[in-house]
Amino acid sequence: MSLFIKLFNFVMYMSSKHIIDESHALSHSMDVLRISHDIYNVEVLKNPVLREHERIIYISAILHDMCDKKYMTETDGIIEICEFLEDKIDENEIDIIKKIISTMSYSTVKKNGFPEMGDYQNAYHIVREADLLSAYDFDRCMVYHMYKQNPDIEDAFHVANILFENRIFRHNEDRLFTTDYAKQQSIILHTSAIKQIYSWKTLLKSPKFI
């Protein structure tokens, strides 16, 4: 069984065990992995040493929410992740992955700034920025609210709309992107999110549903 298969099986196991809803479970792990891969392919041309960190980037991307404090105690999640990885990769890689996934969240960065990652700084930013880009999916934000707070879709739209105005649409202004790919892609995704919001706004006002 390949490492990729084992990693995604672990995501499914953890999602079931800790009741991680679809906004942060398998599809999100796949999305962040794919975006990390896209950023990596651009960044590695400027920074060839990233080839040595490719596995760390991809594993971090897949597992980053399997210790999310919204669903579990972060320390417990980190322990489970490390125990899962201990017979699959070397100890140094595990240490770097642990540091990446425990310091990359929006709230942690806003509170503490970027951690000092040494040679792995670029790897850290690739995974972190892939996660930020995935946050531009307005539907995903609504889904999280409906699972965790209130199943009322109109309330979910209202809460998501406020979050996008106060957080997501400010990512560039807050200087959260360091890679050229993420800076450029965020502009495209910003426009796409505005279209999503408009679609929901008109749909929820449709006479068919009022």
For the chain, give the percent of residues with pLDDT over 90.
95
* Same domain flag for 161 and 109: no
Q: Which residue has the tokens 């891969």?
A: 37
- Span 129-151, pLDDT tens digits: 999 999 999 999 999 999 988 89
* Same domain flag for 65 and 34: yes
**C-alpha dihedral sign at 165, 181, 24, 106:** negative
* Whole-angstrom distance, CA of residue 206 vs CA of residue 198: 13
Residue 209: predicted pLDDT = 63
- Per-residue pLDDT band for 8 (boundaries 50, 70, 90) equals very high
* Whole-angstrom distance, CA of residue 163 vs CA of residue 32: 20
* Same domain flag for 27 and 97: yes
Total of domains in the chain? 2
Are the beta carbons of 141 and 135 closer than 8 angstroms? yes
End position of a domain, from candidates 110, 134, 158: 134
For the chain, give the percent of residues with pLDDT over 70.
99
For the chain, the 3-state helix, strand and coil shares in percent, each to the nearest 5, are 75, 0, 25
Are the beta carbons of 78 and 118 closer than 8 angstroms? no
Other residues' Cβ atoms within 10 Å of the Cβ of residue 81: 23
**Spatial CA neighbour of 176 closest among 147, 146, 209, 135:** 135
Q: Which residue has the tokens 């800076």?
A: 183
- Span 79-114, pLDDT tens digits: 999 999 999 999 999 999 999 999 999 999 999 999
End position of a domain, from candidates 103, 134, 165: 134
- Check pLDDT > 80 for residue 15: yes
DSSP state of 173: T
Quick one: tokens of 5? 């298969």
DSSP state of 22: T
- Per-residue pLDDT band for 53 (boundaries 50, 70, 90) equals very high
- Span 149-180, pLDDT tens digits: 889 999 999 999 999 999 999 999 999 999 99
Residue 1: predicted pLDDT = 77
Average pLDDT over residues 54-68: 97
Averaged pLDDT of the chain: 95
Domain that holds residue 83: 1-134
**Can you spell out the DSSP letters for 81-94?**
HHHHHTTTS-HHHH
End position of a domain, from candidates 134, 168, 200: 134
* Whole-angstrom distance, CA of residue 100 vs CA of residue 114: 10
pTM (2 decimals)? 0.95
